[in-house]
């Protein structure tokens, strides 16, 4: 199977805050998905899904508060002072087969517990609002060291999030295994998470 | 009817490129929707729709290519060199009552023709892809001088866009009137475009 890496994708993809420090990001990508961040894996998968008319899902650009812009003559505008802003939403959304899809992606180097501090209140609130509107809402969790990936439905996330008020600080791997759909990294797409989305849609229909 | 302007909305909303030049943006907002840009009107409406559990729709942040970031000690990161990037998508998307909603907003000071150069190929392509996935896709057009607003379904836009190959440079107001749903500026929400979205959904069901 041919792995088709479109040219210039680094310049087409919004750099994450973390990738700003990564001088060898391009090199890493050339050698395939090993060492790719979860964000890169999802972006690759989304390109595949768009190219094959399966889904139209994008990562939202990082919100920036722009303070100062120079407009040099005969040259494009240069932002000279700007700050990272807190997002109001999750990072990813789009449309799959008539369904609104909304999710956040989180990775951990832990081998068991997944710390709840990876989530922010605004992300939980946003997922709740989107779910109320009939969206398919979830989180993709990557255990970097274990090379395991889980699609955890928003309802499960909410249960663990609320458990913080009883003192919980993290989710145990066994609870993630129980409450999620595990997906395997692959080629074309790198991370076939839409299969899990389809399962979520079907299980939602069964409930009704 | 009480007009509830939430505090600090200027700092909560992503500044558009054009608003960077607008030093009196805050003042303008205080005096209501007169003089608001279409973007401001839609952002206000989206806040209303979210606050009332009607729809969860956001403007996407402007995509920025970040080149240089300073990390001062005991202070937040400062972006020192960055550039505006071409977006791959439209500006607005979200979920309404189970439907994926995707649109672009355009305003003109013309009193009749709406120039097609207001659209970009990537926006047309994106609307086509989202429509194929079952999304509700359209453009909100504002005639600034006429104070008239139209929700034009993507299918109509595509027809006029393709007419460029026969030499068309713009859409006539009479064709916009014929092919769109006109909406009126109001309070709460400032621009009740979801009513038009509901009509598009219902007319789509009739076709099936």
The predicted complex's ipTM stands at 0.83
Q: Quote the CA–CA distance of A108 and A146 in Å, as a whole number.
A: 10
Taking CB atoms and an 8 Å cutoff, what residues of chain A touch B53? Answer: 129, 132-133
| pLDDT at A34 (0 to 100) | 60
Is A14 marked within a binding site? Answer: no
| pLDDT at A208 (0 to 100) | 61
Each residue of B105-140: pLDDT tens digit?
Answer: 999 999 999 999 999 999 999 999 999 999 999 999
- Whether B179 and B153 have beta carbons less than 8 Å apart is answered as yes
Intervals of chain B under pLDDT 70: 1-34, 207-208
| pLDDT at B19 (0 to 100) | 40
Chain A with chain B: Cβ pairs closer than 8 A:
129
Structure tokens at B107: 């305003």
Cβ-defined contact of A66 to B102 (cutoff 8 Å): no
Closest alpha carbon within chain A to B135 = A98
List per-residue pLDDT tens for chain A, 208 residues long.
333 333 333 333 344 444 444 344 444 444 444 679 999 999 999 999 999 999 999 999 999 999 999 999 888 999 999 999 999 999 999 999 999 999 999 999 999 999 999 999 999 999 999 999 999 999 999 999 999 999 999 999 999 999 999 999 999 999 999 999 999 999 999 999 999 999 999 998 776 6
Question: Burial of A165 by CB count in 10 Å (0-12 exposed, 13-18 middle, 19+ buried)?
Answer: exposed
Strand order in the sheet with B92-96: B56-59, B92-96, B99-108, B136-143, B148-153, B181-183
Nearest by CB to B61, from A60, A81, A133: name it: A60
Domains and CATH numbers, chain A: 38-60+88-207 (3.40.1350.10)
Cis-peptide into B150, omega within 30 deg: no
Q: What sign results for the dihedral spanned by CA atoms B4, B6, B11, B13? A: negative
Q: What does each C-alpha distance from A69 to A168, B21, B62, B153 come to in angstroms?
A: 45, 10, 14, 35
């Amino acid at each position: 199977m041919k792995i088709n890496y479109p040219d210039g994708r680094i310049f087409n993809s919004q750099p994450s805050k973390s990738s700003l420090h990564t001088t060898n990001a391009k090199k890493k990508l050339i050698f395939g998905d090993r060492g790719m961040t979860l964000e890169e894996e999802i972006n690759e998968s989304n390109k595949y899904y768009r190219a094959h008319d399966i889904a139209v899902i994008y990562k939202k650009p990082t919100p920036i508060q722009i303070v100062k812009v120079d407009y040099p003559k005969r040259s494009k505008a240069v932002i000279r002072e700007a700050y990272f802003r807190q997002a109001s939403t999750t990072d990813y959304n789009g449309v799959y087969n008539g369904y609104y899809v909304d999710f956040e992606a989180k990775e951990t180097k832990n081998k068991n517990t997944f710390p709840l501090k990876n989530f922010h209140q605004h992300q939980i609130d946003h997922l709740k609002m989107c779910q109320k509107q009939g969206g398919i809402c979830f989180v993709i969790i990557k255990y970097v060291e274990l090379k395991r990936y889980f699609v955890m439905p928003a309802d499960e996330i909410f249960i663990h999030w609320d458990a913080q008020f009883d003192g919980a600080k993290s989710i145990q791997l066994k609870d993630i295994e129980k409450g999620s759909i595990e997906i395997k990294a692959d080629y074309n797409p790198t991370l076939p998470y839409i299969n899990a989305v389809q399962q979520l849609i079907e299980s939602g229909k069964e409930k009704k």
